[in-house]
Every structure is written in C-alpha cells, then in structure tokens.
C-alpha cells in the first residue's frame, strides 16, 4: 500500500521492520533483490529520510551485489559519504528508474546536504566555524548555493548552529551522526588520538602547576 501510494518513508520503515522479523535465508533470492531495490529507491527519493544507516548496515543490501542493480548500492554509499564526484558518475543510471529520473533535482540537493554534513562531521567540534567559500571548496557545491544549503540543513535538523550572512560564515555546533566507512573510522580514530593527547597535556600542566600549590 505504502509503495503504491508513494509513501516512501512509511514503506521504508515498515519494510525494515518486516526484515527484522524474518530470516533472510527464508526469502528467495529474487525476493531479497526486489526488497533491496525498492528499499533503496524509497530511501533516496523520500523527503524525510536523510540517514540511510539502518539500510546500509543491513545484509539485504548485499543482494544487489553482482546484479544489474549493483550501481544502486554504490549510489547509496555515495550519498552516505556525500560524494558528489561519485554521484556525477552514477547519475547516468538514474534514467533506469522512473522515480529517480523524476527526482533528479531533489537528489542533487539531497547529496549536497550529505556532502555538507559529512564535511562538518569530519571536523573536530573546535573546528566547525567555516566560511561559505571553504564549504564550497570542500564539498564541490557551487558557492551561490551554500547559504541556502546550510539553511535547508538547519531547517531539517541535520545541523545545529548559526549563520553570519554578512561575514559568510557558518558556525556549526552539532551534526546528525552518520554510518562510518573505513575513512570515517580512521578519521574518528585520529580525532580520539588527538583528544587523548590533549587530555594528557592538560594533565601534565595541572600536575606541574599543582606542585607549587601542594608544596605550599
């Protein structure tokens, strides 16, 4: 029903709930591929789903590997990374599906939002004040689209922060979590290492300053 009525978010959620209640091995291969395909389309064209984490981590998605629809799986991961370069390559496949073809403008905006949130997520919390030009350079989104893009992300709850329109600076205080790929995990490891080093330096400083107090 949800699929026929284009209720993409409802179809996405109810189908994932269904998959949580069945063993994939009980489903025929063709059925697994159909569900993976339909879930992917719903996730992409829904105007309320901006985090594909549950689907990306679900083994149902592997049903598309080594099929004619393998590009769709690649497209989902490109969206998760906010990879506009990969999107530009994969968008040649959009004409293979009527819904994707009809939503091309929306899909570009959606992956641009993902590129923005990925940029913020990749930075440490102390380094999330960025000029519009920096955001444009790193996300590959056109400079004249940046302010509107940030406002859209704020309105959707993907980011929290403030915009200085005069200085053309965005100060981001929070970003919606994402599923981490290998590069993301490595980036997180680096930030944790830097945090640990910072804590150690602070501890050494406190110990050094405290010696004078304790001696007194």
Domains and CATH numbers, the chain: 1-81 (no CATH), 107-179 (1.10.10.10)
Residue 186 has pLDDT above 90, yes or no: no
Return the structure tokens found at 203.
Answer: 């501890």
Cβ proximity of 60 and 35 under 8 Å:
yes
> What confidence tier does 178 reach under pLDDT thresholds 50, 70, 90?
confident
| Neighbouring residues of 134: CB distance < 8 A, sequence distance ≥ 6 | none
In this prediction, residue 146 carries a pLDDT of 97
Q: Give the strand order in the sheet containing 169-175.
A: 129-131, 169-175, 159-164
Transcribe 53-114 into DSSP letters.
HHHHTSGGGGGGTTSTTHHHHHHHHHHHHT-HHHHHHHGGGGGGSHHHHHTHHHHHHHHHHH
Backbone CA torsion sign across 133, 138, 144, 150: negative
Return the structure tokens found at 49.
Answer: 């789903």
pTM summary value:
0.83
Residue 180 has pLDDT above 70, yes or no: no
Please identify which residue in the block is written with the tokens 């189908």. Answer: 15
> What confidence tier does 5 reach under pLDDT thresholds 50, 70, 90?
confident
How large a percentage of the chain has pLDDT more than 90?
76
Cβ proximity of 144 and 112 under 8 Å:
no
Element (H, E) at 170: strand 169-175
| Neighbouring residues of 92: CB distance < 8 A, sequence distance ≥ 6 | none
Span 127-174, pLDDT tens digits: 999 999 999 999 999 999 999 999 999 999 999 999 999 999 999 999
Span 99-134, pLDDT tens digits: 999 999 999 999 999 999 999 999 988 999 999 999
């Amino acid at each position: 029903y949800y699929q026929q009525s284009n209720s993409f978010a409802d179809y996405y959620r109810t189908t994932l709930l269904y998959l949580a209640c069945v063993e994939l091995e009980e489903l025929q291969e063709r059925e697994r591929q159909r569900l993976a395909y339909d879930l992917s389309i719903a996730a992409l064209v829904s105007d309320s789903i901006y985090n594909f984490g549950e689907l990306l981590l679900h083994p149902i998605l592997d049903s598309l590997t080594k099929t004619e629809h393998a590009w769709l799986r690649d497209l989902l991961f490109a969206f998760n990374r906010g990879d506009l370069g990969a999107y530009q390559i994969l968008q040649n496949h959009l004409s293979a599906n009527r819904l994707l073809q009809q939503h091309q403008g929306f899909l570009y905006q959606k992956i641009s939002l993902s590129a923005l949130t990925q940029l913020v997520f990749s930075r440490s919390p102390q380094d999330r004040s960025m000029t519009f030009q920096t955001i444009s350079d790193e996300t590959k989104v056109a400079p004249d689209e940046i302010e509107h893009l940030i406002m859209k992300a704020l309105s959707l709850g993907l980011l929290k922060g403030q915009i200085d329109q005069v200085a053309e600076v965005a100060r981001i205080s929070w970003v919606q979590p994402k599923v981490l790929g290998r590069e993301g995990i490595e980036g997180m490891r680096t930030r944790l290492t830097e945090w640990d080093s910072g804590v150690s330096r602070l501890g050494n400083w406190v110990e050094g300053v405290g010696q004078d107090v304790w001696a007194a």
